[in-house]
């Protein structure tokens, strides 16, 4: 009995932990993810029913209802219908007493759980915990009660027999819900950290960009004052107008680049040109570097390599690293940005002449709230590492105190054949999205 009981609990908790890993690696909530959830729950139900645990007097129990309640409450009718049909069909295949009782009780309760789902999903985590555990407990109690009424042979059936089983089902539902809410809350926290970090970066850039924009506006203002207060030849006036227009165009370019970075992140994973995105990021960070007397040198050895990722997130990753490098040079210095590639990988190298770090500091990079800055939080580096990981890349730091720091970002290179396949997949997913909307 104990062995199969533990197996039932494992059949329920293992898919949750397995999917948690898949969920953290794949942020894309598409149909494949939904199908994976439903299949995992259905397999869990079948395994629970295949390996029931035996109580006294020949009675058998299992925890099939826990996955059903979880999926139906969180996903509603769309996610719960397939596990519900799995229970009904497999129960018919098993046969024996109580088949029709199971059909009636499962159907009634499934409808009830579906109706509760909208209310359930707007509650706080603690409230969800109580609701789900309560429903799972009531469901099995209701099923047992109906069995007691409609099944003729109930020898050995007693409250002392079924009470431990009801408690086991409630406790398992409780543990499963705690795990799910921890996973969901952690995912939400990661998203909030990313947004918060980007907001801080945008704020810092805004200060430097306002300074950068002021320069061409001041020059333009000077030219306009000269044109108003003095008499110039036609050629001289046209020269002043041309210079003023060029300065305004320069200011417009700065503002456009800033807004491109600061706009809401709406991109999805796509094939992007590493050179183009790196060059854009360098142009945006130049104003911040100029304010701190830091010169930027670029060395782009490859301008035709492609990687798979999200434009805005790659920008944020490069900007965070570049900003950290600039902040590490309080008295000014040189920031060198290099792009190179080989047959398999694209590598971005960012090197500074700043204060550097020791081995212990390098090992702690990416740990929340560890920072080498006086007013830093350490969350920026955690965001950087999550972005690199989501792009299947690697990040490496090389540094010595007083000798500066070198950061290596390595991403898998997308070849022409892969680009064609990914374009087809992207086109297919776009058409599916359009058809979903039309329906």
For residue 28, is pLDDT > 90? no
Q: Which has the higher per-residue pLDDT, 329 or 192?
A: 329
* Tokens at 132, concatenated: 């789900």
Find tokens 């069995």 and name the residue: 147
State the DSSP code for 413.
P
pLDDT score, position 218: 73
Q: What are the tokens at 215?
A: 């320069």
Q: Which residue has the tokens 């629970």?
A: 48
The per-residue pLDDT of the chain, averaged, comes to 78
Measured CA to CA, the distance from residue 72 to residue 110 in angstroms comes to: 8
DSSP secondary-structure letter at 326? H
Question: What are the two backbone dihedrals, phi and then psi, of residue 74, each rounded to the nearest 5 degrees?
Answer: -75, -35
Q: What is the mean pLDDT of residues 4-16?
A: 85
Q: pTM for this structure?
A: 0.50
Asked if residues 41 and 67 have their Cβ atoms less than 8 Å apart, the reply is yes
Q: Distance between CA 85 and CA 91 in Å, rounded?
A: 10
pLDDT at residue 408, as a whole number: 94
| pLDDT given for residue 336 in this prediction | 95
SS3 247: helix
Percent over 70 (pLDDT), the chain: 73
As a whole number of angstroms, the distance between CA 344 and CA 355 comes to: 33
Q: Where are the domains of the chain?
A: 2-193, 195-262, 270-423
CATH architecture, range 2-193: Orthogonal Bundle (1.10)
Q: Which of 68-77, 209-218, 247-256, 258-267 has the lowest mean pLDDT?
A: 258-267
Q: Output the CATH code of domain 195-262.
A: 1.10.287.130
Q: In this structure, which topology does domain 270-423 adopt according to CATH? A: Heat Shock Protein 90 (3.30.565)
Among 192, 217, 178, CA closest to 16: 178
Q: Do domains 2-193 and 195-262 have the same CATH topology?
A: no
pLDDT tens digit sequence for 167-223 = 888 898 899 888 888 888 877 777 776 666 666 666 666 665 665 677 677 767 777
Return the minimum-mean-pLDDT range out of 88-97, 171-180, 294-303: 88-97
């Amino acid at each position: 009995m104990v062995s199969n009981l533990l197996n039932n609990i494992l059949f329920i908790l293992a898919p949750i932990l397995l999917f948690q890993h898949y969920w953290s690696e794949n942020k894309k909530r598409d149909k494949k993810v939904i199908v994976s959830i439903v299949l995992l729950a259905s397999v869990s139900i079948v395994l629970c029913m295949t390996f029931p645990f035996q109580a006294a007097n020949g009675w058998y129990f299992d925890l099939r209802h826990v996955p059903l309640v979880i999926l139906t409450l969180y996903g509603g009718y769309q996610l719960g219908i397939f596990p519900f049909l799995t229970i009904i069909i497999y129960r018919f295949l098993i046969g024996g007493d109580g088949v029709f009782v199971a059909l009636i009780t499962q159907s009634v309760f499934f409808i009830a759980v579906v109706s509760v789902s909208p209310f359930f999903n707007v509650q706080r985590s603690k409230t969800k915990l109580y609701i789900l555990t309560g429903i799972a407990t009531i469901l099995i109690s209701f099923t047992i009660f109906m069995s007691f009424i409609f099944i003729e042979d109930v020898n050995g059936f007693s409250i002392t027999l079924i009470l431990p089983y009801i408690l086991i089902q409630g406790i398992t539902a409780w543990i499963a819900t705690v795990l799910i809410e921890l996973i969901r809350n952690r995912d939400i926290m990661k998203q909030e950290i990313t947004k918060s970090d980007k907001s801080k970066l945008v704020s810092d850039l805004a200060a430097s960009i306002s300074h950068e924009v002021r320069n061409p506006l001041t020059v333009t203002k000077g030219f306009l004052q000269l044109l108003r207060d003095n008499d110039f030849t036609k050629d001289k006036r046209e020269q002043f107008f041309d210079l003023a227009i060029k300065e305004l165009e320069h200011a417009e370019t700065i503002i456009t680049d800033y807004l491109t970075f600061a706009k809401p992140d709406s991109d999805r994973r796509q094939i992007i040109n590493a050179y183009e995105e790196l060059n854009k990021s360098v142009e945006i960070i130049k104003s911040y570097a100029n304010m701190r007397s830091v010169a930027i040198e670029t060395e782009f050895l490859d301008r035709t390599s492609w990687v798979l990722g999200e434009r805005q997130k790659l920008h944020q990753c490069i900007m965070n690293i570049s900003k950290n490098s600039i902040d590490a040079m309080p008295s000014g210095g040189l920031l060198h940005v290099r792009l190179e590639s080989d047959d398999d990988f694209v590598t971005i190298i960012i090197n500074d002449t700043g204060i550097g770090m020791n081995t212990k500091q390098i090992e702690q990079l990416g740990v929340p709230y560890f920072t080498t800055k006086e007013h830093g939080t350490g969350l920026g580096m955690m965001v950087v590492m999550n972005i690199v990981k989501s792009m299947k890349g690697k990040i490496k730091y090389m540094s010595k105190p007083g000798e500066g720091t070198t950061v290596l970002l390595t991403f898998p290179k997308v070849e022409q054949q892969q680009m064609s396949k990914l374009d087809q997949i992207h086109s297919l997913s776009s058409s599916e999205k359009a058809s979903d909307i039309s329906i």
